[in-house]
Amino acid sequence: MLDTYTNGVASGKPFEIKIYNSSFGKDSIWIDDYGTGTTAATAGHFWTMKFKAAADMSSKTFKTDLSKSVVSGYNIGIKVSNGKVIGNDSISFDIQFEDDATPYGTTYTLAGHRSVSYEEYMSH
């Protein structure tokens, strides 16, 4: 579950996203908040986004200078900085969006912890 901070102030209820790497390599991760479109019924939990970020598995860090969301019809630009995995179960990163009121003008800090591991997810 992740919490959102805007300018250091908590600004929402905890929400779930998926963060995973592909089976093809260990140089990137996917960040996905389950959104499939732009309507209220298809929006993501935080922002409609699914995108790839460069990852350094040895330092447990990730970022993207600019990535595009792969959600069909919603290919907005996304910037991630200060991404880090803390221990095995916590994560934190700063994120900015092209479609914000001022494009890339607000930095949101997302921070949280893993509630379900891959193994637990696959056993259901």
Q: What is the tens place of the pLDDT at every residue in 2-42?
A: 777 766 666 777 888 888 886 666 789 999 999 888 888 89
Instruction: Identify the band that residue 114 occupies on the pLDDT scale cut at 50, 70 and 90.
Output: confident
**Spatial separation of the C-alpha atoms in residues 28 and 76, rounded to whole Å:** 19
Kind and range of the H or E run holding 122? helix 118-122
- pLDDT of 122 above 60: no
> Taking Cα atoms as reference points, which of 89, 87, 60, 74 lies closest to residue 32?
74
Least confident span in 5-9, 49-53, 57-61:
5-9
State the pLDDT at residue 51.
95
pTM to 2 decimal places:
0.84
Helix, strand, coil abundance in the chain, percent, nearest 5: 5, 45, 50
Q: Are the C-beta atoms of residues 3 and 14 closer than 8 Å to each other?
A: yes
Tokens at 76, concatenated: 């907005």
**Spatial separation of the C-alpha atoms in residues 21 and 55, rounded to whole Å:** 9
Q: Are the C-beta atoms of residues 37 and 69 closer than 8 Å to each other?
A: no
Stronger pLDDT, 9 or 52, i.e. the higher one: 52
Residue 59's contacts (CB-CB under 8 Å, 6 or more residues apart) are none
pLDDT tens string 67-103: 999 998 889 999 999 999 998 888 999 999 999 999 9
